[in-house]
Amino acid sequence: MEFMERKKVAFYTLGCKLNFSETSTIARSFVDEGFDRVDFNDPADIYVINTCSVTENADKRFKSIVKQAQKNNPEAFVAAVGCYAQLKPQQLADVNGVDLVLGATEKFKITDYLNDLTKNDFGEVHSCEIEDADFYVGSYSIGDRTRAFLKVQDGCDYKCTYCTIPLARGISRSDTLENVLKNAKEISEKGIKEIVLTGVNIGDYGKGEFGNKKHEHTFLELVKELDSVEGIERLRISSIEPNLLKNETINFVAASKAFVPHFHIPLQSGSNDILKLMRRRYMRELYVDRVNAIRETMPNACIGVDVIVGFPGETDEHFLETYEFLNALDISYLHVFTYSERDNTAAVEMEGVVPKNVRSKRSKMLRGLSVKKRRAFYESQLGSKHEVLFESENKEGYIHGFTENYVKIKAPWNPELVNTLKTGKLSKIDEDGMVRFEF
């Protein structure tokens, strides 16, 4: 594709870390084609919006982001890609100002669909049947100089009753071990200190590695191989299903040189009745077992939890069961999601719909519990020495960073600290909830 002058492209990403890693890969393909990447708030010739299907809010935000792009440049070509573009392509194409919508398999070939960047009268849709999304495209993102998100797996074979991800991303499939290691080396050669492993269901790693359903490698093998890559200071597992987090992995992370003591494990409900309705692949007893196994080997580990409130059939008793379960559990923070109806999921047909105001109240209660849990976790770390990876922004005279076990710290701004690892003491918790760091 030849243009007389260098065109400008800007990106906006909604949703998860996996989306961020894929946006970065798509962005690199534009740069390879001779585009200059600019900030989304700047005038550009093309705006690419990577969409998300997980929450209602992400759908609504899409329209306002399109408006923002049009405000920056009314003549700009606007393309939508990603999960929502796969699930509801026509709905996005009908949004005023959208020129191109690409589904799950097409998004990585976006530059092939651009001709002269003339705005279309109607949004043009190219989206596959999701059964065709059976090949793997590796990607990684470098959002800042400190950490990178490395995609190792895509898609999901689980059939949770609330989830559209299998419809949006297709079957579970993995990058080859060789390619993951190649990407990890590329990242470390750029001077980036931390890699976060990401995917839809990363504990399922190895399935579909060479286009077949059997496992060529396991998640544990992936972890062991990555731990030996030279130059990577830190490796972090982003989110892993409790039934796929094995003792062998926990024990390896506890003794490894690069993997940090931080786990994010989706629970979704503390009630076995609701877990069954959700078609999760474990009961709460297994979850307790996983948390205990981590605490035995890594007493200072940070453990984050995903939980959904307001699922159909969740009574006050079920919710209190979840609240009390989480309150008693030795975890560090919660990510709370309010259930929202999604077309073509089994949950939409279920009885016992929870009123929106009740969902909201339950969400608020669990967010309050999360604040309490995080505070208690931070307090348990005060007075101890930790290694901090410093980030690149000057935030009102302070530099921020994270300890290996995910305590957010602050220290007086010093540009020489950017992207360095330093050991020091966690002294006190400030009013903003961050921990003061002393060298």
pLDDT in tens, 286-300: 999 999 999 999 999
Q: Which residues of 22-48 are buried (b: 16+ CB within 10 A; e: fewer)?
A: bbbbbbeebeebebeebebeeebbbbb
Distances 239 to 6, 199, 311, 406 between C-alpha atoms, Å: 39, 8, 21, 14
**In the predicted structure, residue 422 carries a pLDDT above the cut 90:** yes
Residues in the chain: 439
Chain mean position to CA 257? 24
Q: Kindly state the DSSP code that residue 410 receives in the 8-state scheme.
A: E
- Domain of 334 in residue numbering reads as 264-282+294-380
Q: In the listed set 360, 380, 400, which residue is the last one of a domain according to the structure?
A: 380
The CA distance from 24 to 19, in Å, is: 9
Longest Cα–Cα distance in the chain: 66
Mean pLDDT of 260-276: 98
The yes-or-no verdict on residue 3 having pLDDT over 50 is: no
CA–CA separation, 125 and 32 (whole Å): 24
Q: What gap in Å lies between CA 154 and CA 172, rounded to an integer?
A: 6
How confident is the model at residue 1, as a pLDDT? Answer: 44
Mean of pLDDT values over 94-113 = 88
Single residue among 70, 104, 132 that ends a domain in this structure: 132
What is the C-alpha separation between 372 and 365, in angstroms, rounded?
11
Mean pLDDT in residue range 326-342: 95
Average pLDDT, the chain: 91
Confidence of residue 122 (pLDDT cuts 50, 70, 90): low
The three-class DSSP label of residue 159 is coil
Amino acid 127: pLDDT: 65
- Highest mean pLDDT: which of 92-106, 123-137, 277-291? 277-291
The reported pLDDT for the residue numbered 113 is: 83
CB 389 within 8 A of CB 143: no
Domain boundary among 132, 154, 170: 132
**The domain spanning residue 326 has which CATH number?**
3.30.750.200
The CATH number assigned to the domain holding 190 equals 3.30.750.210
At 118 the pLDDT is 67
Of 149, 148, 156, 187, the residue nearest 174 (C-alpha): 156
Q: Which residue has the higher pLDDT, 170 or 246?
A: 246
Taking the CA atoms of 334, 340, 342 and 348 in sequence, report the sign of the dihedral they define.
Answer: positive
192 occurs within a structural domain: yes
Mean pLDDT of 68-78: 94
Residue 210 has pLDDT above 90, yes or no: no
β strands within 256-380, DSSP E: 262-268, 302-309, 333-338
Distance between start and end Cα atoms, the chain: 53
**Does residue 289 belong to any structural domain of this protein?**
no
Q: Is 259 helix (H, G, I), strand (E, B) or coil?
A: strand
pLDDT score, position 45: 94
The structural domain count of the chain equals 4
At residue 58, the pLDDT reads 66
On whether both 312 and 322 belong to a single domain, the answer is yes
pLDDT at 56: 67
* C-alpha to C-alpha distances, 409 to 380, 405, 425, 435, 436, nearest whole angstrom: 14, 11, 10, 5, 6
Position 75 pLDDT exceeds 50: yes
Question: Tell me: the pLDDT tens digits for 312-322?
Answer: 999 999 999 99
Do 429 and 415 share a structural domain? yes
Q: What is the CATH number of the domain that holds 44?
A: 3.40.50
- The band of 123, judged by pLDDT with boundaries at 50, 70 and 90, is confident
Coil/strand/helix, residue 70: helix
372-376: long-range pairs with CB below 8 Å, 24+: 373/326, 373/331, 373/332, 373/333, 373/334, 374/332, 374/333, 374/433, 375/429, 375/433
Count of beta carbons in the 10 Å neighbourhood of residue 59? 19
In this prediction, residue 208 has a pLDDT band, given cuts at 50, 70 and 90, of confident
Instruction: Give the range with max mean pLDDT: 71-75, 122-126, 133-137, 247-251.
Output: 247-251
Q: Are residues 306 and 342 in the same domain?
A: yes
Token pair for residue 105? 């398999």
Q: Say how far apart CA 268 and CA 357 lie, in whole Å.
A: 19
pLDDT exceeding 70 applies to what percent of the chain? 92
pLDDT tens for each residue of 124-153: 787 666 666 666 777 887 766 688 999 999
Q: Are residues 253 and 268 in the same domain?
A: no
> Sorting pLDDT into bands at 50, 70 and 90, what band is 42?
very high
pLDDT at residue 36 above 60? yes
Per-residue pLDDT, 219: 97
Whole-number pLDDT of residue 248 = 98
Is position 288 within any domain?
A: no
- Give a yes or no: residue 3 inside a domain: no
In percent, the amount of the chain with pLDDT more than 90 equals 72
- Looking at the structure, do residues 212 and 165 belong to the same domain, yes or no? yes
- Is residue 121 located within the same domain as residue 198? no
CA distance 49 to 154: 19
Alpha helices in 159-233 (DSSP H): 165-169, 177-189, 219-227
Q: How many CA atoms lie within 13 A of 93 on its CB side?
A: 17
Kindly state whether residue 139 falls inside one of the protein's structural domains. yes
pLDDT of residue 290: 98
pLDDT, average across residues 269-279: 98
